[in-house]
Amino acid sequence: MKTLHTTIVAFAMATGVLASPFASAHASLKTSNPEAGATLSAAPREIALTFNEEVEPVFSKIGLADAGGKAVAPGKMTLDASNPAILRLEVPTLSAGAYTVTWAVAGHDGHRRKGNFKFSVK
């Protein structure tokens, strides 16, 4: 009976250890520049999003909208050359007001994650 108990416990622990990398395998936003909720005295020239893992730029996008929900015509989105976990988006000159950044990315596992945050310019 003790051997059976030991075998079950060992199996459960091995399963947990082997499954743990898959539990966090999806790309998630770690930091952003500008930060979520920030009030900036000067408009940013780009938006930079840093994820917890490398992202696939072909399956990723960043959007920017003004307070009325109208899309702001952003520039080109690029993957950071030195760190493939960072996406950058050039933005045009922004006037004072509130803005919403939306993002959708896919990590190497192919699963898409989405999110959004707001910032404002004085």
Structure tokens at 60: 């990723």
Task: Please name the residue that has the structure tokens 């990590």.
Answer: 107
Give me the residue spans of the domains in the chain: 26-121
Task: Please name the residue that has the structure tokens 């960043």.
Answer: 62
* pLDDT the model gives residue 22: 45
pLDDT (tens, 9 = 90+) of the chain, 122 residues, equals 566 555 454 444 444 444 434 445 689 999 999 999 999 999 999 999 999 999 999 999 999 999 999 999 888 999 999 999 999 999 999 999 999 999 999 998 889 999 999 999 99
Q: In the CATH scheme, what architecture does the domain 26-121 have?
A: Sandwich (2.60)
Identity of the amino acid at 54: E
pTM, to two decimals: 0.79
* pLDDT the model gives residue 3: 63
